[in-house]
Structure 1
Amino acid sequence: MGIWEQSAYDVRLDWGAEGVAALGRECAVLVVVDVLSFSTTTDLVVGRGGRVLPVRWRDERGVARARAAGAVIAGEGAFTLRPSSVTEIPPGTLLALPSPNGATLCEAAAATGARVLAGCLRNASAVAAKAHDLGGPVGLIAAGERWGVTIFGHGDTLGPLRPCVEDQVGAGAIAAALAGHGLSLSPEAALAARSVDVTALAGCVSGRELTESGHGGDVTLAARLDVSDAAPMLSEGVLA
């Protein structure tokens, strides 16, 4: 085992695109965790019988392909990256969801050849059960935020990675559920599992950013633990 690897364990955790590159070499399943808000929005869409087409951030060709496939483009109508915008989304909707973190990481994770799931607090146990069924090792990718980018990705530049409370807590909830299936956790995943506190979302930087911009309802939706049976898995570029 290389000094930078977590390969002695069934469940591993790393951050952002670098984490995808590291864990994609050694994990059969990668779970992208972007609690505020890509993964939570995806859970709500899939839970209502819809599908999500992740689109890499600022990929105009990706948006054009999504439009040609008949997808509704988030941000061009009633539906956006915000979880509260999709709570009544009609079943069967294919929603193209561009985001600088979760969607972009899903595409990168798929390129590794791993099976890709989108996890959050709402579906932590359901996603853990699906990952366990698929067979490990399982890599948890805490998306993190980017310095210089607002929570819904409207900043002008993508800065360096900012590890964030919400994705640590979300990845930890999934790690804890995987431990319940008898899987061993790396120290990184075990520490996250011990940090699960949904009340932290309201007071963390990302949660306060949303609340102060009038979107506290999105934090409330994201902070609910194990209220969903959806386990969105990427197949042919679509999460369902």
Structure 2
Amino acid sequence: MDWGVAGLARLAPAEVVVVVDVLRFSSTVIAAIEAGEPVGPDAEAWATSINGAGVARAAAATGAVVLAGGLRNARAVADAVMRLQEGRGARTGVAVIAAGELVSTDPGAPLRFAVEDQLGAGAVVDALAAIGIDHCSPEAVAACESFRALRGAVRHLLTASGSGRELVDRDLRDQVVAAAAVDAASVAPVLRDGAWVAA
């Protein structure tokens, strides 16, 4: 587990990359896939989060299978990873990349820690561990344990977070609350030929 495009580059190559940008990239893509709408690179979902979209594009360039994950679909992502591993018939490296928040619209800008992405990454790691994919880095363990300890407070933490407050102030509280609903979605969006579709 690491943070942002730079974190993806720091990690050893993985066969699967899970991009976690809870507010709003991952949640927007998940909602679109739930509605049966494939999401292409020019769609609104790509524009709502430069960082989440940037991580996804960088991950796709490595040849990895790229999934969009978060609190809302952690178990579905874990199940998709298991199916991919079974289909490969071999050990499968999984990188969980928390997007964080860029401090400006410049793609090279530094990241701001985003608690929603820490918790979302932890939810994905926890779901992977629950189905037996559990050889974790210290960073993944820390994210997982923070999610486990704070699971009951996730909704409050997201609505009170810096990113959450920005969205609440824009009358988008319902989107924040939906993003905080752990395992409410049964879809795992995968990036194929430049578009997000159901895995």
Q: TM-score range by the shorter chain?
A: 0.7 to 0.9
Aligned to 2:24: 37
> Is 1:224 aligned with 2:181?
yes
Residues 147-162 of structure 1 mapped to structure 2, 5 A cutoff: 147-149=103-105, 157-158=106-107, 159-162=109-112
Which structure has more helix as a fraction of its residues?
A: 2
Q: Alignment length, in residue pairs?
A: 182
Q: Which has the larger radius of gyration?
A: 1
Question: How many angstroms apart in 2 are the aligned matches of 1:237 and 1:148?
Answer: 25
Shift of 1:103: 1.3
> Is 1:203 aligned with 2:153?
no
Aligned to 2:80: 130
TM-score, length of structure 1 as denominator length: 0.72
AA aligned opposite 1:222: A
Residues 46-195 of structure 1 mapped to structure 2, 5 A cutoff: 46-54=33-41, 63=42, 73-74=43-44, 81=45, 97-98=46-47, 99-135=49-85, 136-149=92-105, 157-158=106-107, 159-183=109-133, 184-195=135-146
Question: How many angstroms apart in 2 are the aligned matches of 1:215 and 1:129?
Answer: 30
Question: How many angstroms apart in 1 are the aligned matches of 2:102 and 2:56?
Answer: 16
Gaps of 5+ in 2: 86-91
Give 3-state SS (helix, strand or coil) of 1:228's partner. coil
Q: Deviations over 1:60-81 (max 9, x none)?
A: xxx4xxxxxxxxx42xxxxxx4
> Is 1:19 aligned with 2:7?
yes
Q: What percent of counterpart residues are identical?
A: 46
Alignment RMSD (CA, Å): 1.4
Gaps of 5+ in 1: 1-12, 55-62, 64-72, 75-80, 82-96, 150-156
TM-score, length of structure 2 as denominator length: 0.86
Give 3-state SS (helix, strand or coil) of 1:210's partner. helix
Question: How many angstroms apart in 2 are the aligned matches of 1:229 and 1:32?
Answer: 17
